[in-house]
Amino acid sequence: MNLFGRHFLTLKDFSREEIAYLLDLSAKLKADKKKGINGDRLKGKNIALLFEKPSTRTRCAFVVGARDEGAFPEYLGKDDIQLGHKESVADTARVLGRMFDGIEFRGFKHSTLEELAKYAGVPVWNGLTDEYHPTQILADLLTMKEHFGKVEGLNFVYIGDGRNNMANSLMIGMTKLGVNMTVLAPKTLWPLKELVDLCEGYAKTSGAKLTISEDIDAVKDADVIYTDVWVSMGEEDKAKERIELLKPYQVNIDLMNKTGKESTIFMHCLPAIKGYEVTEDVFESAKSVVFDEAENRMHTIKAVMVATLGKGDDK
């Protein structure tokens, strides 16, 4: 499958088959790395890493993934460039596109990412925006596939803030790949109807089921319980009211037991605020696969770069 030259902005832009291809490529690159085999699929490539928001996993995943395949990554933080301030996003994109072969952006507005992609002339990858976090979803899907041997037909429950970038992206990724997706949240934090309608269309095509609920009992039969921080970056002023609203949706032992399945796993994109969205005992339990997810950020991000910028997985 040829994804060369494509941007990676949201999983809306990729078919079920293309996402499955990226997961297969991720697994191959991961297996190679475990054997001590690194490639040169990105040899001679220079990659710009633009960060308005701080990161542990995203930054490290892009840096290590790029270097493993022979590329040179250059980190540009919010104090290093004048993105959209002293210099327009379009002008920055055109400058960087002439110096770099690919650009990663992690920041606030999704429109900034789209403008970079419009003007850069090289592949642009989404490291996170306020609306979408697609590289995390690839890591989540790879982790699920490793654990269960498949993703299609699994029952996946996301619990917490149902209208943040993680809920949005999980809905897209899961419904496209045939995973039964439940968003469990108070009604005031339900995802936008427009996105729900879109994902219901994906679910109809893939054979999945999409459910939006505020009933804690909706976790019954879940194969995966997934949560995220209750207060996203940039919303710190809403912390007190958000905590009060989401307390009943904490992932704890009682909630995990409500699934009725011993095989249920716990997932989190990290960083986790233990004692809030998840209790320490669940986070540290044998059911938790959060560090598998964290590692898989690197393998899946590497796959995205190789597929869209590199020589391909067969070279």
Tell me which of 7, 41, 106, 268 is the catalytic residue: 106
Give residue 31's pLDDT band: very low, low, confident or very high (50, 70, 90). Answer: very high
Quick one: pLDDT at residue 281?
98
Q: Is 269 a catalytic residue?
A: yes
Residue 193 lies in a domain: yes
Give residue 312's pLDDT band: very low, low, confident or very high (50, 70, 90). Answer: low
Give the amino acid at 220: K
Residue 4 lies in a domain: no
* Cα separation, 228 vs 224, whole angstroms: 13
Residue 173 lies in a domain: yes
Nearest to 5 by CA among 211, 313, 306: 306
Residue range 29-54: average pLDDT?
A: 96
Tell whether 207 and 264 lie within a shared domain.
yes
Structural domain of 160: 136-290
Residue 20 near residue 294 (C-beta atoms within 8 A): no
Residue 315 lies in a domain: no
Residue 44 near residue 70 (C-beta atoms within 8 A): yes
Q: Is 59 a catalytic residue?
A: no
Across all residues in the chain, what is the average pLDDT?
96
Tell whether 17 and 114 lie within a shared domain.
yes
Quick one: pLDDT at residue 314?
47
* Cα separation, 233 vs 165, whole angstroms: 11
Tell whether 147 and 52 lie within a shared domain.
no
Tell whether 140 and 128 lie within a shared domain.
no
Q: Are strands 72-77 and 102-106 parallel, antiparallel or unpaired?
A: unpaired
Residue 160 lies in a domain: yes
Tell whether 233 and 169 lie within a shared domain.
yes
Tell me which of 7, 41, 110, 133 is the catalytic residue: 133
* Cα separation, 163 vs 169, whole angstroms: 10
Tell whether 148 and 279 lie within a shared domain.
yes
Residue 286 lies in a domain: yes
Q: What is the pLDDT of residues 181-225, one digit of tens each?
A: 999 999 999 999 999 999 999 999 999 999 999 999 999 999 999
Asked whether residue 313 carries a pLDDT value surpassing 70, the answer given is no
Binding-site residue positions for L-ornithine:
165, 228, 232-233
* Cα separation, 122 vs 305, whole angstroms: 12
Tell me which of 41, 101, 140, 269 is the catalytic residue: 269
Quick one: pLDDT at residue 315?
41
Tell whether 168 and 222 lie within a shared domain.
yes
DSSP helix/strand/coil, 248? helix
Residue 107 near residue 51 (C-beta atoms within 8 A): yes
Q: Is 215 a catalytic residue?
A: no
Residue range 107-115: average pLDDT?
A: 97
Q: What is the pLDDT of residues 79-93, one digit of tens each?
A: 898 787 789 999 999
Tell whether 85 and 146 lie within a shared domain.
no
Residue for token pair 């002439």? 98
Q: What is the pLDDT of residues 214-243, one digit of tens each?
A: 999 999 999 999 999 998 777 788 888 999
Question: For position 40, which CATH number holds?
Answer: 3.40.50.1370
Residue 134 near residue 8 (C-beta atoms within 8 A): yes
Report the percentage of the chain scoring pLDDT > 70. 98
Q: In what order do the strands lie in the sheet with 210-213?
A: 210-213, 180-184, 155-159, 224-227, 265-268
Nearest to 106 by CA among 268, 233, 294: 233
Q: Which pTM value belongs to this model?
A: 0.96
Tell whether 185 and 156 lie within a shared domain.
yes
Residue 211 lies in a domain: yes
| Overall domain count for the chain | 2
For residue 90, the surrounding DSSP H or E stretch is helix 89-99
Quick one: pLDDT at residue 256?
98
Residue range 130-154: average pLDDT?
A: 98
Q: Is 250 a catalytic residue?
A: no
Tell whether 140 and 285 lie within a shared domain.
yes
The neighbour count for residue 216, using CB atoms within 10 Å, is 14
Q: Which residue has the higher pLDDT, 294 or 315?
A: 294
The neighbour count for residue 264, using CB atoms within 10 Å, is 19
Q: Is 98 a catalytic residue?
A: no
Nearest to 269 by CA among 174, 149, 134, 145: 134
Quick one: pLDDT at residue 84?
73
Tell whether 101 and 141 lie within a shared domain.
no
Residue 24 lies in a domain: yes
Tell whether 153 and 285 lie within a shared domain.
yes
Q: Is 133 a catalytic residue?
A: yes
